């Protein structure tokens, strides 16, 4: 595991610390703690995350696109209505689910980028995903939805997301003020139901859709 780090770092002690950090990140993604294993301690001066969960650290490290944080005046009437409505739920914490519908080229991505920039510029966490990796790559900090939410590609009726309550994915979702899933019209119904069921569980709000989170779906059923 140290070979890759040795290419850019000659100090063997620093290389060891970098390997330990890599191992810790892998263990956190599986809901485990490195302190449970007989490994050397990670020294504070080498810990760029300062104890923060890796996925939260990565989300907070996404650079805010200031071009889109100030494009409100460029939104058309329908985009502005959706923008204001969605942000009102983000601000008051009373989550709900939205669906942004529109054929390709009607400005859905423009709206998503404006929402993500606004939420992140306020120091909040916005999780951006899409059904396909190509679509996810267009969104700032975007990830494939199945990867982000740990949803099996072969999800069956009644399935749930494959994360534990101690995993870093759960910690990220609990802190998220906005969750965005584009191209949702291309995925299985069971995948959406798995996210709904899992969010109700981890947020301990079984009676609220998606556990009371503000979630924006987007796509084109045409």
- On whether both 105 and 7 belong to a single domain, the answer is no
- On whether both 109 and 198 belong to a single domain, the answer is yes
- On whether both 47 and 141 belong to a single domain, the answer is no
- On whether both 127 and 147 belong to a single domain, the answer is yes
Residues 70-102 as b or e (16 or more Cβ within 10 Å = b): ebeeebeeebeebbeebbebbeeeebeeeebeb
Range of the structural domain that residue 12 is part of = 3-51
Domains identified in the chain, total number? 2
- On whether both 71 and 110 belong to a single domain, the answer is yes
Q: What is the pLDDT along the chain (222 residues), one digit of tens a residue?
A: 888 888 888 888 888 988 888 888 777 656 577 888 999 888 877 666 555 567 777 788 788 877 777 788 889 999 999 999 999 999 988 889 999 998 888 889 999 999 999 999 999 999 999 998 888 889 999 999 998 999 988 889 999 999 888 888 899 999 999 999 999 999 999 999 999 999 999 999 999 999 999 999 999 988
pLDDT at site 52 = 56
- On whether both 97 and 9 belong to a single domain, the answer is no
- On whether both 208 and 167 belong to a single domain, the answer is yes
- On whether both 45 and 82 belong to a single domain, the answer is no
Which residue, of 51, 70, 91, is where some domain finishes? Answer: 51
CATH number, residue 171: 3.40.50.300
- With beta carbons less than 8 A apart as the criterion, state whether 132 and 144 touch: yes
- On whether both 170 and 118 belong to a single domain, the answer is yes
- On whether both 105 and 125 belong to a single domain, the answer is yes
- On whether both 112 and 199 belong to a single domain, the answer is yes
- pTM for the model stands at 0.77
- On whether both 198 and 148 belong to a single domain, the answer is yes
Cα distance between residue 142 and residue 127, in whole Å: 8
């Amino acid at each position: 595991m140290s070979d890759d780090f040795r290419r850019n770092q000659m100090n063997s002690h620093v290389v060891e610390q970098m390997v330990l950090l890599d191992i810790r990140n892998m263990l956190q993604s599986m809901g485990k703690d490195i302190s449970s294993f007989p490994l050397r301690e990670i020294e504070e001066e080498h810990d760029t995350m300062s104890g923060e969960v890796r996925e939260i650290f990565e989300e907070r490290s996404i650079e805010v696109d200031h071009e889109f944080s100030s494009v409100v005046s460029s939104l058309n009437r329908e985009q502005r209505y959706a923008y204001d409505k969605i942000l009102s739920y983000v601000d008051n914490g009373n989550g709900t689910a939205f669906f942004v519908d529109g054929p390709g080229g009607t400005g859905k991505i423009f709206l998503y980028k404006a929402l993500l920039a606004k939420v992140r510029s306020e120091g909040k966490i916005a999780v951006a995903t899409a059904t396909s990796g190509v679509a996810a790559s267009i969104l700032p900090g975007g990830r494939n939805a199945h990867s982000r939410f740990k949803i099996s590609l072969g999800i069956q009726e009644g399935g749930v997301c494959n994360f534990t309550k101690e995993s870093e994915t759960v910690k990220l979702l609990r802190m998220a003020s906005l969750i965005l899933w584009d191209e949702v019209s291309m995925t299985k119904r069971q995948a959406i139901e798995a996210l709904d069921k899992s969010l109700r569980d981890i947020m301990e709000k079984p009676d609220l859709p998606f556990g009371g989170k503000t979630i924006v779906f987007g796509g084109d059923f045409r």
